[in-house]
Chains A and B, each alone.
Chain A
Amino acid sequence: MVPAAIGLAFLVLPLAGLLIRAPWTTLPHRLTEPGVLAALRLSLLTATLATAVCLLAGVPLAWILARTTFPGRRLVRALVTVPLVLPPVVGGVALLLVFGRRGLLGGWLDSTFGVTLPFTTTGVVLAEAFVAMPFLVISVEGALRAADARYEEAAATLGASRWTAFRRVTLPLIAPGVAAGAVLCWARALGEFGATITFAGNFPGRTQTMPLAVYLALEQDLDAAIVLSLVLLAVSVLILAGLRDRWLGAT
């Protein structure tokens, strides 16, 4: 009990610090400042899009890792977790070296399709997806390993194609794992700072998400930074609590 209480206090006390230090009297005035809503809207939009990207690419990747064997699978699994250990700022530089104007693919994308990613909202989504994807892949892979593969085999013997079996049998089985992974992924994307500011830069309304706004507010005005942090916290806690009840059936 005591270690659990210490653990909880360790996690909750900094939050209490923010609440105690918050400038409650000027709060309504500060919330309506231009830029706050724009940053919040951009944060929610990009984190959601990044989660969608991670779902589309991450679930198949998790399935490959969990259900197939191929040489180098361990290496691939280790590579998937690289963004977890890479400092996000380095991740941002790495993204620039690939998708930047002089990057491996960036120059080609620009000359062929006229697409440039750095300093765009798409760039924010890309940076967030890069750091958040491992959370989804690891979570879904774990769920797949826990799910009994014989159900899929049974479906296959009854004539279901691989895609039908995946969609009608596997996916419902691992839905809680996918949902948990998606929530983790979304939360990580929402708080993303280093890769975003390095790869997508910082421009209000286009690439300035809440964490970037908080960082820059901190340069001048601690109170403004606290207000922005509280807004981000309140919105994310509301959404996460709501999703948890609805998707995961937890109470």
Chain B
Amino acid sequence: MRTRLLTAAALAAVLVTAGCSASSDDSAASGGASAPAGRGNAGKVTVLAAASLTESFERIGVLFEQLNPQVDVVFSYGGSSGLAQQITAGAPADVFAAASPATMKTVTDAGDADGPVTFARNQLVIAVPKGNPKGVTSLAALAKPDVKVALCAAQVPCGAAAQQALSTAGVALTPVTQERDVKAALAKVKLGEVDAALVYRTDAKAAAADVEGVEFPESASAINEYPIVALTNAPNPSGASAFVTFVRTPDAQRVLADAGFLP
């Protein structure tokens, strides 16, 4: 009931703004991108998104629905490559947001989408337990024998990025485990089973209650790009392109920046 009231209030606000200041440049910048789409894309928009986007996309979805009250955005989060396989196997979806261009390429190569655009970038940090008990301040510190490290497996994007950063730094490192995804690596830090893990900045930020993120210069060599695309067989093509456009508006970009993404 409460959310419905809020939505109604937001809708009213949008209508008022649209009605009163149609000529104002200011409101056109924030609401303009989706206002034209808002008329023709009623219904459901299904967005398959990389797990690392969970917190940001929930908030972006709320903003998008406020501007397009007749649209219902449904998210399904998961590992990018798993989602890509679902798409090439014919899962009905409108939008795909991946955590790496390589994963996106498997979808575009299969002919299921065309022309993805990069909307965010992510960077690695060293996640350590609160208080940094082992005093980790650099990548080189991870190679010490008494420091247990979890990395992502090289097959998943965060693992590929970690390998890239380590080779840039010239650090040879044997992790105790190669985790299946970035959240699993982070969980090992939260549980105290490892002393450090290389995770995305956004993941460390989302887990700020339990872990600290230590920035390191070599992460600049392994920046991860997030592409988004409207799928060729989208059941709701206009809704799909409206969402893809909205993710690149200043409002949505602000949400992503709050979560720790780079523009």
A98 to chain B, nearest CB (A): 12
Choose one: B176, B184, B191; the contact of A119 (CB below 8 Å): B176
**Given that A201-B178, A202-B180, A217-B155 are contacting pairs, would A101 and B81 also be in contact in the complex, using a CB cutoff of 8 Å?**
no
B105 to chain A, nearest CB (A): 12
Name A190-226 residues within 8 Å CB distance of B. Answer: 197-198, 200-204, 207-208, 212, 215-220, 222
Task: Kindly supply a per-residue 1/0 record for chain B positions 183-203, scoring 1 wherever the CB is within 8 Å of any chain A CB and 0 otherwise.
Answer: 010001001110000000000
Contact B156–A202 (Cβ < 8 Å): no
Chain A residues with Cβ below 8 Å from B153 are: 202, 216, 219
Is A118 an interface position by the 8 A CB rule?
Answer: yes
A115 to chain B, nearest CB (A): 15
Interface size class of B (residues with CB under 8 A): 20 to 34
Contact A96–B85 (Cβ < 8 Å): no
Contact B193–A101 (Cβ < 8 Å): yes
Is B239 an interface position by the 8 A CB rule?
Answer: no
Query: Complex: how many Å from CA A219 to CA B79?
Result: 9
Query: Complex: how many Å from CA A72 to CA B143?
Result: 51
CB nearest neighbor in B for A89: B184
A21 to chain B, nearest CB (A): 12
B161 to chain A, nearest CB (A): 14
Contact A100–B193 (Cβ < 8 Å): yes
A167 to chain B, nearest CB (A): 41
Contact A201–B188 (Cβ < 8 Å): yes
Name B14-46 residues within 8 Å CB distance of A. Answer: none
CB nearest neighbor in B for A201: B177
Name B232-253 residues within 8 Å CB distance of A. Answer: none
Choose one: B85, B148, B178; the contact of A222 (CB below 8 Å): B85
Choose one: B81, B150, B179; the contact of A220 (CB below 8 Å): B81
Interface residues of A, count at CB 8 A: 25
Choose one: A97, A201, A208; the contact of B150 (CB below 8 Å): A201
CB nearest neighbor in B for A100: B193
CB nearest neighbor in B for A120: B176
Name the residue among B148, B150, B191 with the largest chain A CB count within 10 angstroms: B191
Chain A residues with Cβ below 8 Å from B79 are: 219
Query: Complex: how many Å from CA A216 to CA B177?
Result: 13
Choose one: A118, A203, A217; the contact of B178 (CB below 8 Å): A203
Is A102 an interface position by the 8 A CB rule?
Answer: yes
Query: Complex: how many Å from CA A202 to CA B79?
Result: 17
Contact B180–A197 (Cβ < 8 Å): yes
**Given that A201-B176, A201-B179 are contacting pairs, would A219 and B192 also be in contact in the complex, using a CB cutoff of 8 Å?**
no
Instruction: List residues of B whose CB falls within 8 A of some A CB.
Output: 79, 81-82, 85, 148, 150, 153, 155-156, 175-180, 184, 188, 191-193
- 9 nearest A-B residue pairs (beta carbon): A201-B177, A219-B155, A102-B192, A119-B176, A219-B81, A220-B155, A216-B155, A202-B178, A216-B153
